[in-house]
Amino acid sequence: MTDFPSPDPAADGFPGPRRRAFLAAAAGVTAATGLVLAGCGTGSGSSGSGGGSPRRGGRLRAAFAGGGASETLDPHLGNLFADAARAKALYDKLADCGTDMAARPRLAAKWEPNDTLDRWRITLRKATFHDGRPVTAEDVLYSYRRIADPKKAYRAKASLEPIDLAASRAVSPDTVEFRLKRPTAEFPNVLAAFGAYIIPKDTTTADLAKPVGSGPFRFVSFAPGRSCVVKRNDAYWDGAPHLDELEFVVANEESARVNALLGGQVEYAHELNPTTARAHEGKGQIEIVRLRNSAMQSFAMKTDRAPFDDPRVREAFFLIADRKELVDGALSGAGEIGNDLFGKGYEYYAGDLPQRHQDLDRARHLLKQAGAEDLRITLDTSPVAAGFTEAAGIFRDQAAKAGVTVRVRSGSKDSYWSDILDGGTLCCYRSGAMPIESHISQRLLSDSTTNATKWHHKDFDALYQQAQSTKDKKERAAVYGRMQRRLYTEGGFLVWGFADWIVGTSRRVHGVAHDAPANTLDWARFDKVWLA
Amino acid sequence: MTGGVVGDSVGTAEALGAAEVVPSRTARARSVPAALLRSWLARRVLLGVAQTAAVVLLVFALTEALPGDAAVALAGDQPDPARIAAIRTELGLDRPAAERFADWVLGLLHGDLGTSLASGRPVATYLADGFGPTLLLAALTVVLLVPAGVGLGVLAARRAGSLADRLVSSATLAVYAVPEFALGVLLVTLFALRLGWLPPTAVGFGGDLLAHPAVLVLPVLVLLSRPVCSISRLVRAGMIDALRSPYVRQATRYGLSTARVRYLHALPNALAPAAQQLARTVDWLLCGVIVVEALFVIPGLGTVLMNAVAERDVPVVQGLAVVFGVIAVVLNLGADLVARRLAPRAGVAA
């Protein structure tokens, strides 16, 4: 895996520069008229598995790859898995993603939209910050306005874009009314956005060095790039954690995380290699937890330029890929094959479409039809993510069998994502877990900010708007189905697999969720974990 | 990074082989006039400052030449061009490179190393935090390295071709050939995971390594491995050369005891090249040993450097360049002074 901190592959929104004092957002709150509210919220918040009845007490040490001396505790700035895990221990969001990526209520007890889906009333549950103050509607608005500060570049800013924050208001201490710029049926996804944590009103950036949140753990100490210690919050609204204390330690080298786990220096090691997992799985020394469907693996074709402006060439490439070989080779078998669609196993996933298989004859035929025989093409890759360079090499060989000459070009890992956004024609691409709706809005609309396949189709944009304006879930699912069929037929993402995210734990550790993709609520969630 | 800076002392080390007749170490050292030494020192310090400045300028130019900048690195896998532009403006990266460099130099003249682009924290705190673990590792390594390296070298040189010599020579050659990473993995697997004698990493102890001395054993062993070999081999070669030299034969003919000839006359000449090798080793140790830091999770200067380069955190990289440059210059100056003292004729070569 990556030796050094890599940007979180899974997050939506954008990372911001981690500096400068925070300028308080103007607190102008305009009045809103009465609303007809309808019920919508569902879900519960339990996690964990097996191991008998939980035992209270103990200190758990969890090793993550981290960001070195530049790490921050500002929950709105976090980019890395380590940042997200720390923020989750200290803070809460209004909602968070379940294992199928559907939003589940957290600090929000329920959410109710109006009929046109552009006003949402959020009722907060009774929760308190670590200093005893209750979590109120004002805190929510303050947090969101901080994230959306136009002068800043906080990561969740783009996710909160649908909200008209100037017009949103606190109806009562426990009720927020969000006014949206347009109908947004999937508004709960916004509340669950990566980094959309609730901090107390009037918290300054300096205050965030000593975090006061509403999360399951209270802050004890922090040394950037080394360690962060938190302790149980007995007053946590979702039940006090079992652990007395939790320490996040940073070890960027995968072998160091494994060794620390094997040597009993940590009880939880995040992000292990598939080969490590195979070596220790079932050997009884440590537990290996495979979080399925955590990272989409794909090749992104730029659909606005030759040769991929011809849908027949794109289809030919879909048919060139031997997905099993890619998963076995590039992911060491730690994953499942993909079907050219994002979000296998997630809510709204079009699982009814037939699985695509390699068909070199048909691929050759399609290329010939498109006048693209003896095609030569450059495939951009980089050591930025595990399996990228391997996948590129395997695909080069597969393409050769269809008469396509692929030249693999390896780029800098520090600027890879920026380089491939507009440059090149074909590149390795991956994404962490997020709702299918977020994947579409961030990557597949004409005005999407990271549209790496250059998928610009007005009718597709219109379908997205239609889905967001459709209140009935079944009807909405049907629209998502249509959009995915289109992508399956002629989209720009050749999704060949979904990688497991691999976590190792000591045998004393119980209550670690086995079915939560990275970045979902139950991933790296330590309030339900206990030590035997 | 500092390879260019230390290069100039190599000539000194090689020139030592030419030393033939050295009647008395102390008499010879006194014969160098103090004024000459002072002007030599002044020249060396000036040269050092110029070298450090050149390194910093080069590092800045190279970091600028890398694809992407701090804004691109911060944007990561969500490279929205508008957002990157906003970050760039906020960080002042949209200003011309020359202007940014001049600003930084101006700050440096006032003792201000600037602030990190990635975190907004002062660069000085990065250096201070990383220097502690690095210095501790380096100090422990050197304290063990000098007796071990010299001892093995002398042992081997006492009778060239003897069993002891062949054992030491082949062992040092073999260990020298093992890359640090491989040796580290081997030692961790054996002593930490199989035998359970020592902790495999220093994870979580970064700020307080001295309180957990057991975590330092394996890293120091890995750090020692190659320098012990190179220094003992240098000492051995120097000793053998010196023992065969006419002045030693002359000293023996005067009836001086073997021990006296060996340790007071031959050894100092053999130590001069070793001193300079030692300086290079210390330089290497202090500039952050990335492999060992990563393997054992020790957050020293090497880790700071790796992260800063990945984040294109130019002020931190430049701060490190200054520190590394100064370290290299000071160490080489010290080594040359020691070498002059041990084998003064070489001084003319510096």
* Pairing mode of beta strands A268-270, A59-64: parallel
What residue spans of A348-499 are helical by DSSP H? 360-369, 388-401, 416-422, 436-443, 458-468, 473-490
Confidence tier at B344 by pLDDT (50, 70, 90): low
Asked whether residue B5 carries a pLDDT value surpassing 80, the answer given is: no
How far apart CA A518 and CA A314 sit, in angstroms, is 30
List, in order, residues 6 or more apart from A231 with CB less than 8 Å away: A217, A218, A220, A244, A245, A246
List, in order, residues 6 or more apart from A104 with CB less than 8 Å away: A42, A43, A44, A45, A95, A96, A97, A98, A192, A521
Confidence tier at B207 by pLDDT (50, 70, 90): low
A315 to chain B, closest Cα gap in Å: 26
How far apart CA A479 and CA A471 sit, in angstroms, is 12
Which pLDDT score is estimated for A458? Answer: 96
User: ipTM more than 0.85?
Assistant: no
pLDDT tens per residue across span B116-175: 888 888 999 899 888 888 989 999 999 999 999 988 988 888 877 888 889 888 998 898
List chain A residues with CB under 8 Å of B196: 263
Residues A422-431: what's their mean pLDDT? Answer: 94
Which pLDDT score is estimated for B339? Answer: 77
Asked whether residue B21 carries a pLDDT value surpassing 70, the answer given is: no
Which pLDDT score is estimated for B31? Answer: 52
How far apart CA B117 and CA B98 sit, in angstroms, is 17
Between chains, do B67 and A6 touch, taking CB under 8 Å as contact?
no
Confidence tier at A89 by pLDDT (50, 70, 90): very high
List, in order, residues 6 or more apart from A175 with CB less than 8 Å away: A121, A122, A123, A124, A137
Which pLDDT score is estimated for A51? Answer: 58
Confidence tier at B314 by pLDDT (50, 70, 90): confident
Confidence tier at A50 by pLDDT (50, 70, 90): low
Confidence tier at B324 by pLDDT (50, 70, 90): confident
> Can you say how many angstroms the Cα of residue A215 is from the centroid of all Cα atoms in its chain?
20
* β-bridge mates for residue A378, sequence order: A407
Of A262 and B269, more confident: A262
DSSP state letter for B190: I
- The dihedral over CA atoms of B202, B203, B206, B211, expressed in degrees to the nearest 10, equals -50
Residues B18-32: what's their mean pLDDT? Answer: 44
State how far the alpha carbon of B172 is from the alpha carbons of A477, B112, B231, in Å: 69, 45, 10
Which pLDDT score is estimated for B88? Answer: 84
State how far the alpha carbon of B166 is from the alpha carbons of A122, B153, B161, in Å: 80, 12, 6
- Per DSSP, the three-state class of A95 is strand
List chain B residues with CB under 8 Å of A449: 78, 80-83
Asked whether residue B9 carries a pLDDT value surpassing 50, the answer given is: no
Confidence tier at B345 by pLDDT (50, 70, 90): low
pLDDT tens per residue across span B43-86: 888 888 888 888 888 888 887 887 778 888 877 777 888 778 88
A23-32, A97-106, A310-319, B324-333: segment of lowest average pLDDT: A23-32
Looking up tokens 């549950």 gives A125
What tokens were used for B256? 């001086």
pLDDT tens per residue across span B225-245: 999 999 999 888 888 888 888
Of A14, A265, A412, which has the smallest distance from its Cβ to B201's Cβ? A265
Chain B (26-65) residues lying within 8 Å, Cβ to Cβ, of chain A: none
B263 to chain A, closest Cα gap in Å: 44
A149-153, A512-516, B17-21, B186-190: segment of lowest average pLDDT: B17-21
Picking from B66, B77, B116 by the largest number of A CB atoms within 10 A of its own CB, the best residue to mutate is: B77
Asked whether residue A206 carries a pLDDT value surpassing 60, the answer given is: yes
Confidence tier at A241 by pLDDT (50, 70, 90): very high
Asked whether residue A313 carries a pLDDT value surpassing 60, the answer given is: yes
* β-bridge mates for residue A232, sequence order: A217
Phi then psi for residue A432, to 5 deg, are -80, -175
A34-48, A55-69, A151-165, A464-478: segment of lowest average pLDDT: A34-48
Which pLDDT score is estimated for A113? Answer: 95
Confidence tier at A27 by pLDDT (50, 70, 90): very low
Whole-model pTM over 0.90: no
Chain B (135-194) residues lying within 8 Å, Cβ to Cβ, of chain A: 185, 188, 192-193
Asked whether residue B8 carries a pLDDT value surpassing 90, the answer given is: no
Asked whether residue A528 carries a pLDDT value surpassing 50, the answer given is: yes
Which pLDDT score is estimated for A42? Answer: 33
B110 to chain A, closest Cα gap in Å: 22
On whether any CB of chain A is under 8 Å from the CB of B132, the answer is: no
Asked whether residue B12 carries a pLDDT value surpassing 70, the answer given is: no
Beta carbons of A362 and A527 less than 8 angstroms apart: no
How much is the mean pLDDT over chain B?
A: 80
How much is the mean pLDDT over chain A?
A: 88
Which pLDDT score is estimated for A11? Answer: 36
Asked whether residue B108 carries a pLDDT value surpassing 50, the answer given is: yes
